[in-house]
Amino acid sequence: MTLGWQQVPIATMRCDRAWVEINLAALAHNIRQLKHLLSLRTQLMAVVKADAYGHGAVTVAETVLQAGATWLGVATVPEGIELREAGITAPILILGATHTLEQIKAIAHWQLQPTLCNFKQALVFAEALTAMQSEVLPVHIKLDTGMSRLGPPWQQAVEFVQLIARLPNLKIASIYSHLATAESPDQTILRQQQQNFEQAIAQIKHSKLPLFQDEQTQPALHLANSAATLTASDLHYDMVRVGLAMYGLYPACHLSPIDLKPVMQVKARIAQVKTIPTGTGVSYGHKFISDRPIQLAVVGIGYADGVPRNLSNQMTVLVRGQRVPQIGAITMDQLMLDVSAIADVQEGEVVTLLGEDGTEKISADDWATQLNTISWEILCSFKHRLPRIAIP
């Protein structure tokens, strides 16, 4: 008798087609390695926005907090709520802009900490919190020191801080900025941004605001992303905000002072194996035509899962620890391989698209180089129909 669909546990199908493996031991290792770079006074914020760069926000957050991170960074209010609903109590900074009453209510209710980046937004927060009779809310001031993104120009730092310090129900928890070129070997712009940041802080302190009179209660300062964390200790201040590095990738090849281990592997199964004769077109548009008989394997993963279609006829994957070429256009749900060099390939065998197999490995950096993009984009591209499988 055939089982009805209701009787088949979804868990038994999680790795039938394609999946993403998340190595939690590697993640914890990376946090410990990063902590070795920091002084005792410097805290580590783990950036888990965009579902922890595609790794799974809740699982990643729990792991990094156990490994020594003390703060979490997200981009949106719903991302923060997801962590709170999972029982995570660590402080969470919302790095993106928030403006609406609904967002402010949610921030206060879920004890999230917003970034304030313009004068109008600060007034809206104060008015809303007063109307809500809310408790004092910790807020974080973002200054634009050269990124030309969120925050008032650093020259307006004193005016901005003075406004927020006067407003009811707001407590300035930190002042920070973001670096535009920290991964570049040329540090000219990085150091100019650092100078702008420090000049802004000096001017704020010179203004004699009460919040800077007591070292125990004055706002924390933070500037460093992953690249700056790896670059120099004078960029660390009171906290660093680490994203890419904790997932095991270096922001640039010259920034590798510690041993990082990639956390993500992407795998799929071979769905069919067959032989095609010489002169056979493969996939849409016949962008590949066989010049010999080929043992072809169809693999159950495609661009709808996050494999870039522009890698068609360019990428290799690992089968039994050997590199084999992908051939033909990558389709929505499947791609094809030339496995002629491997004897007796079977349906159901595992293919490694990103990760290690034996002595061979393929990284997000490899794909990024081929596509003239960045590894951040590669990690964030894998869709949620690929289950995340945590490997202890």
CA atoms within 13 A on the CB side of 192: 10
Question: Which residue in the block uniquely carries the two structure tokens 């964030």?
Answer: 380
What b/e readout covers 329-342, taking b as 16+ CB neighbours within 10 angstroms? bbbebbbbbbbbeb
Name the catalytic one among 35, 49, 142, 267. Answer: 49
- What distance in Å separates the CA atoms of residue 235 and residue 230, rounded to the nearest whole number? 9
Structure tokens at 235: 């960029």
Residue in 198, 128, 204 with CA at minimum distance from that of residue 160: 204
Residue in 141, 305, 322, 139 with CA at minimum distance from that of residue 222: 141
- What distance in Å separates the CA atoms of residue 139 and residue 264, rounded to the nearest whole number? 33
- What distance in Å separates the CA atoms of residue 146 and residue 230, rounded to the nearest whole number? 20
Q: How many whole angstroms from its chain centre is CA 188?
A: 26
Q: Catalytic site residue 287?
A: no
Beta bridge partners of 296: 274, 338
Question: Which residue in the block uniquely carries the two structure tokens 């870039």?
Answer: 308
Is 149 one of the annotated binding-site residues? yes
Torsions phi, psi of 189, nearest 5? -70, -40
User: Residue 375 in 3-state DSSP?
Assistant: helix
Name the catalytic one among 35, 208, 247, 284. Answer: 284
Q: Catalytic site residue 49?
A: yes
54 DSSP assignment: H
Long-range contacts of 75-80 (CB under 8 A, 24+ apart): 75/49, 75/50, 76/49, 77/103, 77/106, 77/107, 77/110, 77/112, 79/48, 79/49, 79/51, 80/107, 80/110, 80/112
Angle between helices 77-85 and 57-67 (to 10 degrees): 70
Residue in 384, 266, 261 with CA at minimum distance from that of residue 315: 266
Annotated binding site for substrate: which residue ranges?
A: 149, 332
Annotated binding site: which residue ranges?
A: 149, 332
> Which sequence positions are flagged as catalytic?
49, 284
